[in-house]
Amino acid sequence: MVLDNLGSSLRGTLDNLRGKSRISEEDIEDIVKEIQRSLLQADVDVALVQELSNNIKTRALDEEPPAGTTPRDWVLRIVYEELVELVGESTDLPLEEQTIMLAGLYGSGKTTTAAKMAWWFSTKGLRPAIIQTDTDRPGAYDQSKEMAERAEVDFYGDPDEDDPVTIAREGLAATEEADVRIVDTAGRDGLNEELIEQIERIEDEVRPDRNLLVLDAAMGQSAKSQAADFQDAIGIDGVVITKLDGTAKGGGALAAVDETDSTIAFLGSGETVKDIERFEPSGFISRLLGMGDLKQLTERVERAMEATGEDEEDWDPEDMLEGQFTLKDMRKQMETMNNMGPLDQVMDMIPGMGGGLMDQLPDDAMDVTQERMRDFDVIMDSMTEEELENPRVIGQSRTERICHGSGKPEERVRELLEQHKQMSQMLKQFQGMGDGDMERMMKQ
């Protein structure tokens, strides 16, 4: 994740401010240094880093914290606001009929992003279609078609046609029923005149409402000049940063955003069609700073719930957050988490769960491996309704009965109960911490 290290290093430095009634110039220097180090490591442009540092310094020292605000909260808020300013707004993407063209170099993740975006729009109730105009890369047609199938969206491509402009024209006609048409284009190893000329011709034909530039997060400062060239050719309205799962960088993309005066639209973090999220600056920075992002967590939970086929009336994550965490919840939770993606990513989105708190938990607290999950499932099948609702009633004799019924060792049953206990404790902490921190920060 971009600036992944920032959250933890900054939290440490900010924690030094705890209990202080005044912030010294030295404190601010330390914090700014920490931020600079993380940003530069993440390939953020030096000039941008300098500007951000100056703003933080000036504001932290010159502005008066409102009454009742601790120096730590005050500085955290300034850092948060300035970082939000640095990453910018999210690209405006109204949920309406539109055509979006994707541009970018070979391998940046365009084809994957086209399918991901199509899937994303479909979750918003729109009917998307992918138009594949990449006639250069031999595998592009098959890859795109297959991903469109996985995303369950319309697809148009023509492996026998050489001219991308013809494909674009025919694709637009063939996908008239779609609401959102996503036009994928060819890339090259580097930007050359031929590519620029081709993409300009496709643009003339398609007349997209938006052009998005797809950038690999690992791309360093060269993203800036590349973005400038695409900007000159077709104009860039937004940037999609891909492969955030594989790198702690991503700063090059910020330079591209700055260069094109555009914004970030989506973040890609994996190879499947669901590994995409809409860029939300405040949530993104909150997450970096370990403040969590409830909104995204809720979205993920909802999505995972859909995949699990559960009716929300039957199982409401809100109940869980209110402390009535039963073994049934845990079972649902395990299924849901399976659908949600890596647990540490999910945990990072929970307010108060990022960084520090995760470290305090025993290593195996969240280690719900497939094998354990299967065992847990079998064990829960041998429990009574009463036990599932209120696991505290399970004493030695009930444990023995459950072992006998499930054919699993006593140790496994105890593990399950322990896991349940830890998860409910964790949820209690979650309840206690996150919202307050976050709200305080937002309101001031």
Binding-site positions for GTP: 104-111, 184-188, 242-245
- Tell me 309's DSSP state: T
C-beta separation of 83 from 195 below 8 A: no
Q: How far apart are CA 250 and CA 244, in angstroms?
A: 7
Q: Which of 7, 128, 157, 187 binds ligand GDP (CB under 6 A)?
A: 187
* Interface characters, 264-293, with ligand GDP (x: CB under 6 A): ----xxxx---x------------------
Contact stretch for ligand GDP (CB under 6 A) within 241-249, 297-305, 416-424, 427-435: 241-249
Query: In this complex, which beta carbon is closest to ligand GDP, that of residue 110 or of residue 332?
Result: 110
Q: Which of 36, 70, 85, 106 binds ligand GDP (CB under 6 A)?
A: 106
Query: In this complex, which beta carbon is closest to ligand GDP, that of residue 44 or of residue 241?
Result: 241
Query: In this complex, which beta carbon is closest to ligand GDP, that of residue 53 or of residue 112?
Result: 112
Contact stretch for ligand GDP (CB under 6 A) within 100-108, 277-285, 346-354, 377-385: 100-108
Rounded to whole angstroms, what are the CA distances from 203 to 121, 159, 172, 256? Answer: 22, 20, 12, 21
Annotated binding site: 104-111, 184-188, 242-245
Q: Is 198 in the site for ligand GDP (CB under 6 A)?
A: no
Task: Return the number of other C-beta atoms located less than 10 Å from residue 300's C-beta.
Answer: 20
Q: Is 104 in the site for ligand GDP (CB under 6 A)?
A: yes
Q: Is residue 213 helix, strand or coil?
A: strand
Query: In this complex, which beta carbon is closest to ligand GDP, that of residue 280 or of residue 437?
Result: 280
Query: In this complex, which beta carbon is closest to ligand GDP, that of residue 146 or of residue 319?
Result: 146
Minimum separation from the CB atom of position 114 to ligand GDP (A): 8
Query: In this complex, which beta carbon is closest to ligand GDP, that of residue 107 or of residue 356?
Result: 107
| Beta pairing class for 128-132 and 154-156 | parallel
Query: In this complex, which beta carbon is closest to ligand GDP, that of residue 27 or of residue 275?
Result: 275
Query: In this complex, which beta carbon is closest to ligand GDP, that of residue 109 or of residue 157?
Result: 109
Q: Which of 65, 88, 107, 281 binds ligand GDP (CB under 6 A)?
A: 107
Q: Which of 66, 246, 405, 407 binds ligand GDP (CB under 6 A)?
A: 246
Q: How far apart are CA 87 and CA 89, in angstroms?
A: 7
Query: In this complex, which beta carbon is closest to ligand GDP, that of residue 14 or of residue 182?
Result: 182
Q: Which of 27, 28, 99, 110 binds ligand GDP (CB under 6 A)?
A: 110
Q: Is 136 in the site for ligand GDP (CB under 6 A)?
A: no
Q: Is 408 in the site for ligand GDP (CB under 6 A)?
A: no
Which H or E run includes 216? strand 210-216
Query: In this complex, which beta carbon is closest to ligand GDP, that of residue 243 or of residue 331?
Result: 243
DSSP 144-201: HHHHHHHHT-EEE--TT---HHHHHHHHHHHTTT-SEEEEE----SS--HHHHHHHHH
Minimum separation from the CB atom of position 216 to ligand GDP (A): 8
C-beta separation of 336 from 304 below 8 A: yes
Q: Is 245 in the site for ligand GDP (CB under 6 A)?
A: yes
- Tell me 391's DSSP state: G
Q: How far apart are CA 346 and CA 276, in angstroms?
A: 14
Contact stretch for ligand GDP (CB under 6 A) within 108-116, 287-295, 402-410, 433-441: 108-116
- Tell me 65's DSSP state: P
* Interface characters, 146-185, with ligand GDP (x: CB under 6 A): ----------------------------------------
Q: Which of 122, 133, 242, 282 binds ligand GDP (CB under 6 A)?
A: 242
Q: Across-strand partners of 238?
A: 212, 263
Cβ-based neighbours of 440, under 8 Å, separated by 6 or more: 73
Q: Is 212 exposed, middle or buried (0-12, 13-18, 19+ CB in 10 A)?
A: buried
- Count of alpha carbons within 13 angstroms of residue 167, beta-carbon side: 25
Q: Which of 181, 210, 224, 243 binds ligand GDP (CB under 6 A)?
A: 243
Long-range Cβ contacts of 173-178 (<8 Å, 24+ apart):
175/129, 175/131, 177/127, 177/129, 178/127, 178/128, 178/129, 178/154
Tokens 């322990």 belong to which residue? 418
Beta strands in 14-160 (DSSP E): 98-103, 128-132, 154-156
Minimum separation from the CB atom of position 63 to ligand GDP (A): 39
Minimum separation from the CB atom of position 420 to ligand GDP (A): 33
Q: Which of 7, 71, 109, 355 binds ligand GDP (CB under 6 A)?
A: 109
Q: Is 88 exposed, middle or buried (0-12, 13-18, 19+ CB in 10 A)?
A: middle
List of residues contacting ligand GDP (CB under 6 A): 104, 106-112, 187, 242-243, 245-246, 268-271, 275
